[in-house]
Chain A
């Protein structure tokens, strides 16, 4: 291959890929070392991203993009506020909700779940009819979590129960639950009676978050307002945005926070990320720590590069002497060996990324093969409501891994390169 490059590029390339064989043995070992490290980093990061992304998706779907609450427990006169919020644009839905802890009693068991009151299909149809900006498909946030029953069945006398809560209360669709509000319990202290309300179970929901599925009742907003007996109040709004993406979400949040409504009504704006900060922090940290540990694999690979190149310098001492005799300068000799390290890093990265893709795209086959070998069914994915190993590719992870690997490979070649550059030509030629 004759390419118009300086001789040291040509020589370095020929050292790695000699003409009389496809690749030198030393180069092959070094490239495989880097490739293994790179592929492992990509695989782990992509799977961790997949888990993180799935959890984020669940969280954003469960909690909505943005929640608006008040410094006070309840927001009164919410219809006007809802209209005002729509003036700000960028919002696709402004869904009021009321949320409180209740005592739920089935025929057999008692629990203290959170009860959330949402608008029913009838409420939404009424809004549509009166041209209140809303779009029907964007409003039924609960609908995608329903695993039994239908959204149309939600009214002031019915509710939906989290799948795991239904299991622990030993109830199913068609059964009834007696629900006591927190307010009712507080009023007992004042020797007042606020009667519980009986709801019929219209369906079951599964959000995929075990903590929520074990602790949630969904009723109509009107039904819960009746139970709480505070009038037409809500706890806040679930906001849906007309664009996805974290930066857009934060932009809308900042806009709303600095608006006059926020100050007047003492509103609090929380994204789904704010609400799940701890969990998201743990996921991010987990990925960082695992990646940090795996970097050591690349460091080990870099030692194989350093050793291979050092051996090459020793093996080729006479050759280096010859190059000096032919007119090569010491920096050019050093550059040759650094370039070899760099090329090993580049080829290792390419091979590693291809291998990572191969593994990730065939992960189910590999995973089932692995479980068949160890003879155990590994079923931790159910805890995340996942039925396959999730993968999410992030271009910035790829760039980081490539830069890191090439840098480490290049650095590994520095020591042999310096040694080669320091060889005196007359001594190198005499070397035996």
Chain B
């Protein structure tokens, strides 16, 4: 029996169906999931196995059709989208395969915007936000790119900005959806090392979706997803 109060993220019997053609097809089929503080989990599986869907469910970007999701012991699967957004600000950081940086903004502004969205009290003064951004940039060693347009960065540099953005509001969990999917081998290795070291140093929990077996071994545990369920 899972005790949701003991875990950072706890999913119980999660189901998610999608309309495909004329039918309703289950993509996630009754999955149980547990993530504890400092834990790192890789989710592997073939394309279409439901990895990204599961990640969306666990991060509150999507709602399960059935089942329960708990964040720090609190049931959130019935919460409104706006409440989930508010809770997500300082609980979850995202890293995406295609970076999702805002092209009209500079490196600094991308991080600054994320920091501003994460503002929850008046203690976050403009000066503090600026310090946070500078600190995040130094973590990923991109201080000199601060004023550059993100369009001028290489793939590896973009992903480093994305890592800095994921960490800027000091979240408890990092969700990384194939963070090396658009990078070459050298850059992929570099990014994974950076991500894992930052997660470990800052005592974050990590949910990594990847196709790469080598990278999956860097995490504490590996879950294989096939046809919407975990394979033993």
Chain A residues in the interface with B (C-beta under 8 A): 2-4, 6-7, 10-11, 14-15, 18-20, 24, 318-319, 321-331, 424-426, 429-430
Contacts and interface: CB of A to CB of B under 8 A. Distances in A.
A321 B62 CA distance: 11
Interface centre among B52, B62, B112, B113 (most CB of A within 10 A): B113
Contacts of B129: 2
Contacts of B126: 2-4
A330 B81 CA distance: 8
Contacts of A15: 104
Interface centre among A18, A424, A426 (most CB of B within 10 A): A426
Given A20-B106, A327-B86, A327-B118, 6 more contacts: A2-B126, A6-B116, A10-B113, A15-B104, A327-B117, A331-B82
Nearest to A324: B85
Given A20-B151, A429-B96, A330 B113 contact: no
Nearest to B104: A18
Contact of A322 (B56, B86, B100): B100
Interface residues of B, number: 36
9 contacts: A2-B130, A15-B104, A20-B149, A24-B104, A324-B61, A327-B118, A330-B81, A425-B61, A425-B81
B20 to A, nearest CB: 14
Contacts of A10: 112-113, 116
A426 B102 contact: no
B105 interface: yes
Given A20-B151, A326-B114, A14 B104 contact: yes
Interface of A is mostly: helix
B170 interface: no
A283 B164 CA distance: 65
B59 interface: yes
A7 B119 contact: yes
A327 B113 CA distance: 11
Contact of B112 (A2, A327, A331): A2
A19 B106 contact: yes
Nearest to A333: B85
Contacts of A426: 53, 56, 61-62
Contacts of B15: none
B88 interface: yes
Interface centre among B117, B118, B125, B130 (most CB of A within 10 A): B117
A33 B100 CA distance: 32
Given A24-B104, A425-B61, A329 B109 contact: no
Interface string B33-70: 00000000000000000001100100101100000000
B104 to A, nearest CB: 4
A134 B104 CA distance: 74
Given A330-B82, A429-B96, A319 B102 contact: yes
A328 B85 contact: yes
B226 interface: no
B133 to A, nearest CB: 10
A15 B90 CA distance: 25
Contacts of B114: 326
Contacts of B59: 325
B149 A19 contact: yes
Nearest to B118: A327
B85 A14 contact: no
B65 to A, nearest CB: 13
Nearest to B96: A429
Nearest to B171: A327
A432 to B, nearest CB: 10
Nearest to B83: A329
Contact of B61 (A6, A325, A330): A325
A4 B129 CA distance: 10
Nearest to A19: B106
A141 B126 CA distance: 68
A19 B130 contact: no
Contacts of A2: 112, 126, 129-130
Interface string B62-102: 10000000000000000001100110111000101000101
A318 B90 CA distance: 21
Given A2-B112, A10-B113, A11-B113, A327 B102 contact: no
A253 to B, nearest CB: 59
B69 to A, nearest CB: 14
A331 B81 CA distance: 11
Given A20-B149, A318-B100, A424-B62, A7 B113 contact: yes
Contacts of A324: 61, 81, 85
Contacts of B117: 7, 323, 326-328
Contacts of B105: 14, 18-19
